[in-house]
A and B are shown apart, each in its own frame.
Chain A
Amino acid sequence: MVLQDNDQTKEPMGPYQWPARKDTDVIGKDHDRLDGLVKSTGAAKYTYDVNLKNQLIAVALGCPHSHVRIKSVDSTAAEKVDGVVHVEVLEQGKEGKEVRWAGELLVVVAAESEGAAREGVANIKIEYEMLDVFTADDDLEAAQRAKRTTKGGNRIETEQEPGDDDDEDEFYEKEFVRLFKDAEIVHEGEYGIDAITHCCLEPHGATAVWEGDKLVVYLSTQNVSGTDDQFAGALGVTANDVEVRCDYIGGGFGSKFAPDYWGIAAARIAKKTGRPVRLMLDRDQELRIGGSRPSGYVKVKVGADKTGKLSVWDSHHWGTGGSGRGAVSIGVVPYVMVPPNRRSIATNINTNNAPVRAWRAPNHPQGCALSQTVIDDVAGKLGKDSYDVFMANLANCTNGKAEVYADQMKVAARLMDWKAKWHPHGKGAVKGSVVEGLGMGLHTWGGAAHPSTCTLKIHPDGSVESFLGSQDLGSGTRTVCAQVLAETLGLKVTDVTVNLGSSKYPISGPSGGSTTVGGVSQSHRRSAQDGLQKLFVLVAAKLGAKASDLIAAGGRIQTTDGNKSLSWKQACGLLGVTPLETTRSHERGKDGALSSSGVAGVQMAHVSVDKDTGVIRVNKFVAVQDQGLVINPKTCKSQISGAVIMGIAASIYEQRVNDPRTGLFLNSGSFDRDGYGLARLGDVGDIVVELYEPESERSRGVIGNGEPPAISPKTAISNAVANALGVRVPVVPMTPKRVLDALAKAAGKA
């Protein structure tokens, strides 16, 4: 009997589906992360921890200016520093090159110690020609004067279409005048959301070692299976010659899909020196060039009826994606609830900051904040409950989720005790100088499962292993894979081993876009279901039963009537000496019953604001989130809590500060007052997460939730602050300075 079943062209068995909620033993049940202990004890080896024998430490010189041309580079003094082994001027550091953002790495020094490498870096002499600098991304007029703008697109939709003979521009101008005239209430405002930067706890970087002609790279990456060929292409070898490893990663959030030129440099220097080379960005470099999220600012005018439902939207938004990259997409302003008449114009501003990278739900947090703060101000203007006005605007939902949102709003309001806490904007009780407020936001995301291949090995001794070239970003991927195997094979989670983190394993997609859990649960369910069917054939022969009459449950394989059975180990013993190996894949877009896409979420915040100091505290935050079928509620809730914490940081503390004179990213160096602000445990209040999983959603299968809960926090918190103060703090983060400025402006003092 042929037990090997690795032929990908062979028709899989199927049909693949999840057990009903009532029939699960493992899926849908809380389980601690399998790697929780090694992580919490420090035993887990992250890329940063890799310390190979004879390893060189590489440190890179970052450009200290925001916009320059390199006039000359002299590394001779660096080469003479005791302990320095190799100095490499990178391509962008060569004479004549234009450098368009501070922090760009120019020269790498590899040395016997970090100290020697840093001293080498300090001895590199570069002459710069200073060029014009622009970083005022919130100032559209200044950007236009500096010729730093490009068109970001426009979109016009009206219920009344222009006639064949109409001049379109003239028609729309008149039509929008008419629409605003007909609106029962008109509101105008300016809003914004500053650029924030990736600040992964583990910075970007790699340790590279050549074993003959084969390269092994320990890379902090979200893309184990997709980075080997990127190294190969850059180094002139084949992907087969490269292994990328990443067992544990200290955060990626969309910024770690590539080797990056510094990872390639580490591999190149390793080749030249014949020694392993470690090159990790330092904290300053991580914040400056590790990726950022575009800023967005909007000038908007809306018209609405007396319920607050918008009938017309007219906006111009702008912002920066750094040097040469686009900013917030035209497609998300307005966001989710799009009035039937809308005109949106976008302008991109080219600034001297490093280019953006994907940041947890690209575009959506900005779109949500720039749109739903407007809806909340309409509620304030009407003196209406924001909840009712959001409910009215669900009629404008464009993603088909209006009913889901309505139901989620009810759940969230109950958990928040919204009705009891609500007061009209600025009309709440004042205790000393402290006022409280409520706000909400809602969001959408795709999250379709990415491609994933899993090889499952069932060993004759009963042990079970899976292999896949995926990565666990800390979200619990290992644990979820193990739960799927355990459920399918009738085992405990601790009975199976999940091997991931190597590009030599079967290909799995990059972990971006909330696609991982759908993909890996697809490939694991498929390979486990089919592997089990193979095992059933052997067991059926042994028991004198039909394979189709067998089930796996409770560590046994048995007939459905329970009269005949073998333990799992006895069953696997029938394999003889050869493991049963089954490889199954999921292709993107072929979800079947196991996965799908398209989720909705509603979030509510309750805050206190000190009117005398501008200090904001989040008291309670409620997140209601749909993600289809939930494999592990514990890690799922944890993922949502993490997103909320990031959102709280971006609402109140987090901000890239560019110096108006030099453009330098002033607060990149640390996390203290003059450093990059983040939320601490004491800042996040009581986070209440509700997994929204009625049968209508569960039956859609598994959908990722990494991004969606990170979208609404800024909106909910900004709206809560506006409700508390009766004054909009127009730009997030809402720092004390901004709160006090907004209050002074409202009082006519500024």
Chain B
Amino acid sequence: MKNFEYAAPCSENEVLQLLSDQSGQTELLAGGTDLVGLMKKMIVTPDRVVNIMEVPTLKNIEAVDGGGVAIGATVTLDEILAHPYLEDYPAITDAILGINSMQLQSQGTLGGEILQRPRCWFYRNGQELLDTGQISGGDNRFHAIFGNNGRSKFVQSSRIAPALCVLAAEARVIGPSDSDIQMIPLLDLFRTPRQEGQREHTLLPNQLVTHLVLPPVNGGLNATYEVRQGAGPEFPLASAAVSLELDNQQRVHQARVVLGQVAPTPWSSAAAADALMGQPLDAQAAETAGLAAVEEATPLSHNGYKVQLAQVAVKRAILRAAGLETGGL
């Protein structure tokens, strides 16, 4: 770990003042479950670490006027699990429960979880994040099966981001100056880096996500399904989140499907959503949507099996949202 300066500001404005406009010079510390490991391996070597856990405005879960919920960026995952406001958002709680680790759930924060760095084993072993041949010619069993035609072949690792995306969450982003406040649809926050050093999101180095704001679900259904090998905190091999609204004839009239762990960003599948439109919510519709979701998959040399897992994840997320048996382990 490189020596660094440590700051623990107490307000959002103080945070902005402490952040550098140069990428990599400052890093935000929340739960630390990702950052500390990266710093110990010197994959990330900031000059200053800004601990945002002392900022009170980031720590709350609040109801939003007109419906919906705003969750502060440093709210811990177990606080979300226990909060009554989140009862209508099982897609989120499914994903948090899947983490299966009391330590990660009690220490990890929402902001940190969705903006964690890629788990790519080349990157975590000190190699470049983008492909220079090490990924396409190497062991890429856990890498992307979508959105991988450029040099980004890692997968976005957040467990919760697909759920937030299907729920149309927006990120409240502040900075660089005190007066800069904007709401960004979460899906737009993520991007596929095109050159080494580019982050996996569109935030400037001196911007801060303060809250994730969820609109009301208005009776809609939502769920997350992760294909996990074990019962521990291992990351899933593939996951999917869905949100669905039914018309009065119990047919789908609005659908969002976002896959996780399969692309450099949360991967929205319009094809799967389209396949559901107008359909009754049953096993056949789920199967068809699953197949549609993976039609355009472009697996790498070692990860063809993930195509089936992604298909199953979509199918089972739909079944789970509908309250039907998923049929698997």
Which residues of A line the B interface, CB within 8 A? 64, 82, 114-116, 118-119, 122, 284, 431-434, 608-610, 612-615, 617, 652-653, 657-662, 664, 666-667, 669-675, 677-683, 735-737, 740-741
B153 smallest CB distance to A (angstroms): 13
List residues 229-288 of chain B with CB under 8 A from any CB of chain A: 229-237
What are 29 A-to-B residue pairs whose CB atoms are below 8 Å?
Answer: A82-B3, A118-B42, A122-B42, A431-B327, A434-B327, A434-B328, A434-B329, A612-B312, A613-B312, A613-B328, A657-B121, A658-B139, A659-B122, A660-B137, A662-B134, A666-B139, A671-B234, A672-B233, A673-B235, A674-B120, A674-B142, A677-B230, A680-B230, A680-B233, A682-B230, A736-B227, A737-B141, A740-B308, A741-B305
User: Closest residue to A739 on the B side, CB-wise?
Assistant: B305
Docked Cα-Cα span, A608 to B174, in Å, equals 49
Are B328 and A677 touching (Cβ within 8 A)? no
Docked Cα-Cα span, A442 to B312, in Å, equals 37
B238 smallest CB distance to A (angstroms): 9
8 shortest interchain CB distances as A-B pairs: A682-B231, A432-B327, A680-B232, A673-B235, A610-B329, A674-B121, A666-B121, A737-B305
Are A673 and B100 touching (Cβ within 8 A)? no
Contact check: which of B138, B235, B325 meets A661 at CB < 8 Å?
B138
User: Closest residue to B232 on the A side, CB-wise?
Assistant: A680
User: Closest residue to A665 on the B side, CB-wise?
Assistant: B125
Are B305 and A740 touching (Cβ within 8 A)? yes
Q: Residue among A64, A659, A683 with the most chain B CB within 10 A?
A: A659
Are A673 and B3 touching (Cβ within 8 A)? no
Docked Cα-Cα span, A678 to B233, in Å, equals 11
Q: Besides the contacts A661-B133, A678-B232, what 5 more A-B pairs have beta carbons closer than 8 Å?
A: A64-B126, A122-B42, A613-B308, A666-B138, A667-B121
Collect the chain A residues with CB atoms within 8 Å of residue B327's CB: 431-434, 612
Q: Residue among A431, A608, A653, A737 with the most chain B CB within 10 A?
A: A737
Are A736 and B309 touching (Cβ within 8 A)? yes
Q: Is B194 an interface residue (CB 8 A)?
A: no
Docked Cα-Cα span, A175 to B309, in Å, equals 49
B138 smallest CB distance to A (angstroms): 5
A100 smallest CB distance to B (angstroms): 19
Interface size class of B (residues with CB under 8 A): 35 or more
Collect the chain A residues with CB atoms within 8 Å of residue B232's CB: 678-680, 682-683
**Bitwise interface map of B from 314 to 328 toward A, beta carbon under 8 Å scored 1, else 0:** 000000000001111
Docked Cα-Cα span, A674 to B230, in Å, equals 13
Q: Is B191 an interface residue (CB 8 A)?
A: no
Docked Cα-Cα span, A137 to B300, in Å, equals 22
Docked Cα-Cα span, A82 to B2, in Å, equals 11
Docked Cα-Cα span, A116 to B233, in Å, equals 32
User: Closest residue to B104 on the A side, CB-wise?
Assistant: A672
Question: Given A673-B142, A677-B234, A736-B309, is A119 in contact with B3 using a C-beta cutoff of 8 Å?
Answer: yes
Are A615 and B329 touching (Cβ within 8 A)? yes
Question: Given A673-B236, A674-B124, is A736 in contact with B229 using a C-beta cutoff of 8 Å?
Answer: yes
Q: Is B183 an interface residue (CB 8 A)?
A: no
B304 smallest CB distance to A (angstroms): 9
Are A662 and B305 touching (Cβ within 8 A)? no
Docked Cα-Cα span, A672 to B104, in Å, equals 12
B41 smallest CB distance to A (angstroms): 7
Collect the chain A residues with CB atoms within 8 Å of residue B41's CB: 284, 669
Collect the chain A residues with CB atoms within 8 Å of residue B204's CB: none
Collect the chain B residues with CB atoms within 8 Å of residue A610's CB: 328-329
Collect the chain A residues with CB atoms within 8 Å of residue B233's CB: 672, 680
Collect the chain B residues with CB atoms within 8 Å of residue A431's CB: 327
User: Closest residue to A83 on the B side, CB-wise?
Assistant: B3
Docked Cα-Cα span, A683 to B1, in Å, equals 34
Are A661 and B231 touching (Cβ within 8 A)? no
Q: Is B37 an interface residue (CB 8 A)?
A: yes
B282 smallest CB distance to A (angstroms): 15
Docked Cα-Cα span, A737 to B142, in Å, equals 10
B311 smallest CB distance to A (angstroms): 9
Are A673 and B329 touching (Cβ within 8 A)? no
A11 smallest CB distance to B (angstroms): 57
Are A670 and B37 touching (Cβ within 8 A)? yes
Q: Is B119 an interface residue (CB 8 A)?
A: yes
User: Closest residue to B325 on the A side, CB-wise?
Assistant: A432
Are B235 and A612 touching (Cβ within 8 A)? no
Are A672 and B227 touching (Cβ within 8 A)? no
Contact check: which of B125, B133, B227, B229 meets A666 at CB < 8 Å?
B125
Are B229 and A116 touching (Cβ within 8 A)? no
Contact check: which of B42, B119, B122 meets A672 at CB < 8 Å?
B119
Collect the chain A residues with CB atoms within 8 Å of residue B3's CB: 82, 115-116, 119
User: Closest residue to A737 on the B side, CB-wise?
Assistant: B305
**Bitwise interface map of B from 1 to 43 toward A, beta carbon under 8 Å scored 1, else 0:** 1110000000000000000000000000000000001001110
Collect the chain B residues with CB atoms within 8 Å of residue A657's CB: 121, 139
**Bitwise interface map of B from 105 to 138 toward A, beta carbon under 8 Å scored 1, else 0:** 0000000000000011110111000000110011
Docked Cα-Cα span, A241 to B234, in Å, equals 47
Collect the chain A residues with CB atoms within 8 Å of residue B48's CB: none
Are B119 and A673 touching (Cβ within 8 A)? yes
Are A682 and B227 touching (Cβ within 8 A)? no
Docked Cα-Cα span, A615 to B233, in Å, equals 15
Are A677 and B229 touching (Cβ within 8 A)? yes
B2 smallest CB distance to A (angstroms): 5
Contact check: which of A114, A609, A617 meets B1 at CB < 8 Å?
A114
Docked Cα-Cα span, A594 to B312, in Å, equals 58
Question: Given A612-B312, A672-B235, A674-B119, is A659 in contact with B138 using a C-beta cutoff of 8 Å?
Answer: yes
Collect the chain A residues with CB atoms within 8 Å of residue B329's CB: 434, 608-610, 613, 615, 617
**Bitwise interface map of B from 75 to 113 toward A, beta carbon under 8 Å scored 1, else 0:** 000000000000000000000000010000000000000
